[in-house]
């Protein structure tokens, strides 16, 4: 995580240096909008800020989806654990009933021993 922040700071520093070195006035045309004599620094920094906001929004959407998937998986795990516990309980009950009746179903007869 620290590496990410260091990399982000280095990138921000490079963008800032690039913007300061290109401080001339420019005309911007975007679709029907026209901006005359705007500092190139503002254009560069504004573009970088908009890009960062878009990346943040997309990353947040991905994070929310992952959280939903984790919660769904945890729900499935809990359901399966409950089902496993019920099966173990039912198996134990069946063994007790079989032992009370005098038959031992826990060990199958071995071939060649004459047991049927």
Give residues with Cβ within 8 angstroms of 102, minimum separation 6. Answer: none
Q: Give the model's pLDDT for residue 113.
A: 58
Beta bridge partners of 13: none
- Tens of pLDDT, residues 42-100: 888 888 899 989 999 999 999 999 999 999 999 999 999 999 999 999 999 888 888 88
Residue 114 clears pLDDT 80, i.e. is over it = no
Token code pair at residue 20: 């300061």
Q: Which long-range contacts (CB under 8 A, 24 or more apart) does 99-107 make?
A: none
Domain edges within the chain: 9-99
Q: Give the model's pLDDT for residue 51.
A: 92
Q: Give the model's pLDDT for residue 100.
A: 85
Q: Give the model's pLDDT for residue 99.
A: 85
The pLDDT-based confidence of 18 (bands split at 50, 70, 90) is confident
Give residues with Cβ within 8 angstroms of 55, minimum separation 6. Answer: none
Q: Could you tell me the pTM of the whole model?
A: 0.57
* Collapsed DSSP state (helix, strand, coil) of residue 1: coil
Q: Which whole number is the average pLDDT over 28-55?
A: 89
């Amino acid at each position: 995580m620290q590496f990410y922040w260091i990399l982000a700071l280095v990138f921000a520093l490079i963008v800032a240096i690039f913007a300061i070195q290109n401080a001339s006035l420019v005309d911007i045309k975007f679709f029907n909008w026209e901006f005359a004599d705007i500092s190139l620094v503002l254009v560069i920094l504004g573009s970088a800020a908009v890009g960062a906001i878009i990346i943040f929004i997309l990353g947040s959407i991905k994070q929310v989806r992952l959280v939903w998937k984790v919660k769904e998986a945890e729900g499935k795990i809990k359901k399966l654990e409950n089902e496993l516990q019920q099966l173990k309980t039912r198996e134990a009950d069946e063994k007790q009933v079989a032992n009370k009746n005098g038959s031992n179903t826990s060990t199958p007869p071995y071939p060649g021993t004459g047991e049927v």
